[in-house]
């Protein structure tokens, strides 16, 4: 039997083996590595995993990452001198990804540090109240003195007294985001973000406004220094970029004329009802990528697997294309079982796979013959029904004309027995795979 990258058997169905949690195969392993560690965002996946997959790459590789997220794949490629184009539907993540991929000149780190010192000085004693985002129940996120100082820092970044060198304000915004989220009354103990309960060591601690201002301003200077110092760690040496677009139509999303990718390394959204918009809200509101709840829900509706705000009600009126659309023999039974528990959940799963199908069909058209694809996916469980995500991906790849489709089980995701993470490997046909497209 073939073995995969991590010594696990490669099969064409998912093996139920006894793998442990293997946290280095998640984003937790990225936090200390230069720009990868800037922000601890839930969408990220493991840099270690991407590097293992890139070991197979030669100098002529051109990688595609259709679900860029925090930019793990393009940054790993850029640091190794490998070309990569990435796509994401979220403009905040496109901004962050491109910032990580920027080749800064020597003076940038110094400029960031000295601007941070000046901004912090002013924020320690702000004269007037500055702009704050219209985030729902913002007082649950930060107490009043903390919020006041954050607003003053944000104001100092947005309104420089004189023009700054390219990238400096953006890097200061990353430092701001670190402080903003560290000082928020939220916890990341679970898969997604939640408000801390009183007594969880970070609830709303009484503090004088002057102390709060000093603490937050000092944290900002520290964060700016860390961001500045990280610029030299494994810096990008190849031109890579992230474009704003929809991976269900890659020909439209990607730059024309560059659409012959030799490898795909990605982690698409999982069908687990986790909303990236919900998770990323504080960053997106503070940096001006969102200004109201309606826009948040609409963006989540455009994203595959989104269910935040109005995305849920829009799902109510969504109609599946019809039976047989998803070429997996058990699919209709699975949807019936999940729908029996909750009709909307069945529809959610159905739409997720129709979206992934559109993505895989559009992928064929932008790949070079023989291109290798690696999809990191997780399965889900709804009520008593396990959703064999990896097997449905396998069926979708085979249906779209890909060959050598194999599943590798890489880690257990939670304490629940049935939840694993897998790599679905597939190869585009050696002949021009666009013949039938
Ligand atoms: C699991 S995350 C990607 C994680 C990424 N590999 C990383 O390390 O950060 C999935 C990403 O897909 C994006 N996404 C969802 N629907 C999309 C679509 N239709 N087109 C492009 N990107 C989409 C989400 O915004 C999210 O950033």
Say whether both 112 and 97 belong to one domain. Answer: no
Q: Which domain holds residue 192?
A: 108-230
Percent of the chain at pLDDT above 70? 86
Domain for residue 397, yes or no?
A: yes
Say whether both 244 and 312 belong to one domain. Answer: yes
DSSP string, 13-74: S---------GGGBGGGGTTSGGGGS---TT-B-HHHHHHHHTT--TT-EEEESS-TTTHHH
Among the atoms of ligand 1, which is closest to the Cα of residue 70?
Answer: 9
Task: Determine the Cα–Cα distance for residues 118 and 98; give it in Å rounded to an integer.
Answer: 26
Residue 23's pLDDT is: 56
Are 42 and 191 a contacting pair, CB within 8 Å?
yes
Say whether both 252 and 373 belong to one domain. Answer: yes
Say whether both 124 and 82 belong to one domain. Answer: no
3-state secondary structure of 97: helix
Write out the H or E segment, with its range, that includes residue 259.
Answer: none
Say whether both 85 and 120 belong to one domain. Answer: no
Residue 254's pLDDT is: 95
Ligand 1 is surrounded, with C-beta below 6 A, by: 43-45, 67, 69-70, 72-73, 87-90, 93, 246-248, 267-269, 276, 303-304
Choosing from 207, 230, 253, the residue where a domain stops is: 230
Q: CA 149 from chain center: how many Å?
A: 28
Q: What is the CATH number of the domain that holds 250?
A: 3.40.50.150
Say whether both 420 and 364 belong to one domain. Answer: yes
Q: How far is CA 388 from CA 265, 275, 373, 391, in A?
A: 21, 20, 19, 5
Domain for residue 9, yes or no?
A: no
What is the 302 CA–ligand 1 centroid distance (Å)? Answer: 11
Q: Which of 65, 269, 354, 378 maximizes ligand 1 atoms within 8 Å of its Cβ, making it the mutation to test the pocket?
A: 269
User: Which two structure tokens, joined as six digits, stand for 420?
Assistant: 């694993």
Task: Determine the Cα–Cα distance for residues 9 and 83; give it in Å rounded to an integer.
Answer: 30
Residue 362's pLDDT is: 96
Q: How many other C-beta atoms can be found within 10 angstroms of the C-beta atom of residue 144? A: 11
Residue 309's pLDDT is: 82
Say whether both 268 and 399 belong to one domain. Answer: yes
Q: Which of 33, 42, 69, 78 maximizes ligand 1 atoms within 8 Å of its Cβ, making it the mutation to test the pocket?
A: 69
Residue 22's pLDDT is: 56
Strands 186-187 and 194-195: antiparallel
Say whether both 315 and 366 belong to one domain. Answer: yes
Domain for residue 205, yes or no?
A: yes
Domain for residue 4, yes or no?
A: no
User: Which two structure tokens, joined as six digits, stand for 109?
Assistant: 């780190």
Say whether both 310 and 162 belong to one domain. Answer: no
Task: Determine the Cα–Cα distance for residues 245 and 234; give it in Å rounded to an integer.
Answer: 27
Domain for residue 5, yes or no?
A: no
Among the atoms of ligand 1, which is closest to the Cα of residue 41?
Answer: 9
What is the 54 CA–ligand 1 centroid distance (Å)? Answer: 20
Choosing from 185, 202, 230, the residue where a domain stops is: 230
Say whether both 294 and 309 belong to one domain. Answer: yes
pLDDT by residue for the chain (437 residues), tens only, comes to: 455 555 555 554 444 444 555 555 555 555 568 999 999 887 678 899 999 999 999 889 999 999 999 999 999 999 999 999 999 999 999 999 999 999 999 899 999 999 999 999 999 987 788 999 999 999 999 999 999 999 999 999 999 999 999 999 999 999 999 999 999 998 765 456 677 765 554 555 567 889 999 999 999 999 999 999 999 999 999 999 999 999 999 999 998 876 699 999 999 999 988 888 988 999 999 999 999 989 999 999 999 998 888 888 899 899 998 777 999 999 999 999 999 999 999 999 999 999 999 999 999 999 999 999 999 999 999 999 999 999 999 999 999 999 999 999 999 887 677 899 999 999 999 765 444 43
Say whether both 239 and 384 belong to one domain. Answer: yes
* Total count of domains within the chain: 2
- Give the mean pLDDT of the chain: 88
Are 248 and 362 a contacting pair, CB within 8 Å?
yes
Domain for residue 279, yes or no?
A: yes
Choosing from 230, 265, 294, the residue where a domain stops is: 230
- Residue that the structure tokens 């903003």 belong to: 180
Domain for residue 434, yes or no?
A: no
Q: Report, in angstroms and rounded to the nearest whole number, the Rg of the chain calculated over CA atoms.
A: 22
Residue 26's pLDDT is: 53
Say whether both 328 and 376 belong to one domain. Answer: yes
Domain for residue 309, yes or no?
A: yes
What is the 203 CA–ligand 1 centroid distance (Å)? Answer: 31
């Amino acid at each position: 039997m073939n073995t995969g990258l991590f010594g696990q058997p490669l099969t064409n169905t998912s093996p139920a083996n006894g793998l442990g949690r293997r946290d280095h195969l998640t984003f937790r392993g990225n936090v200390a590595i230069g720009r990868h560690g800037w922000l601890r965002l839930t969408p990220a996946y493991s840099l270690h995993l991407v590097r293992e997959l890139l070991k197979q790459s030669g100098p002529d590789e051109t990688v595609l990452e259709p679900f860029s997220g925090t930019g793990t794949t393009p940054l790993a490629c850029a640091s190794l001198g490998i070309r990569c184009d990435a796509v994401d539907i979220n403009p905040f993540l496109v901004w962050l990804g491109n910032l990580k991929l920027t080749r800064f000149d020597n003076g940038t780190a110094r400029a960031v540090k000295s601007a941070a010192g000046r901004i912090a000085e002013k924020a320690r004693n702000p004269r007037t109240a500055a702009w704050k985002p219209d985030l729902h129940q913002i007082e649950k996120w930060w107490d009043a003195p903390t919020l006041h100082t954050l607003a003053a820092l944000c104001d100092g970044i947005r309104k420089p007294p004189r023009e700054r060198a390219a990238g400096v304000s953006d890097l200061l915004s990353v430092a701001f985001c670190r402080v903003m989220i560290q000082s928020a009354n939220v916890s990341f103990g679970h898969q997604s973000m939640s408000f801390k309960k009183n007594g969880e060591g970070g609830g709303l601690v009484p503090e004088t406004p002057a102390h709060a201002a000093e603490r937050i301003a000092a944290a900002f200077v520290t964060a700016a220094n860390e961001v500045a110092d990280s610029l030299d760690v494994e810096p990008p040496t190849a031109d890579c970029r992230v474009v704003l677009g929809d991976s269900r139509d890659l020909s439209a999303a990607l730059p024309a004329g560059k659409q012959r990718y030799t490898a795909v390394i990605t982690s698409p959204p999982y069908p687990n009802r986790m909303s990236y918009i919900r998770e990323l809200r504080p960053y997106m509101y503070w940096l001006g990528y969102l200004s109201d709840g309606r826009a948040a829900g609409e963006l989540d509706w455009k994203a595959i697997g989104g269910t935040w705000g109005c995305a849920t009600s829009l799902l109510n009126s969504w109609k599946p294309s019809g039976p047989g659309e998803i070429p997996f023999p058990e699919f209709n039974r699975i949807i019936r079982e999940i729908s029996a528990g909750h009709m909307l959940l069945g529809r959610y799963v159905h739409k997720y796979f129709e979206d992934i199908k559109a993505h895989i069909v559009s992928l064929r058209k932008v790949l070079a013959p023989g291109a290798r694809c690696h999809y990191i996916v997780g399965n889900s469980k709804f009520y008593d029904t396990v959703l064999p995500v990896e097997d449905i991906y396998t069926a979708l790849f085979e249906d779209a004309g890909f060959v050598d489709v194999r599943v590798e089980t890489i880690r257990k995701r939670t304490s629940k027995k049935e939840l694993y993470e897998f790599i679905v490997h597939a190869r585009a046909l050696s002949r021009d795979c666009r013949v039938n497209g």
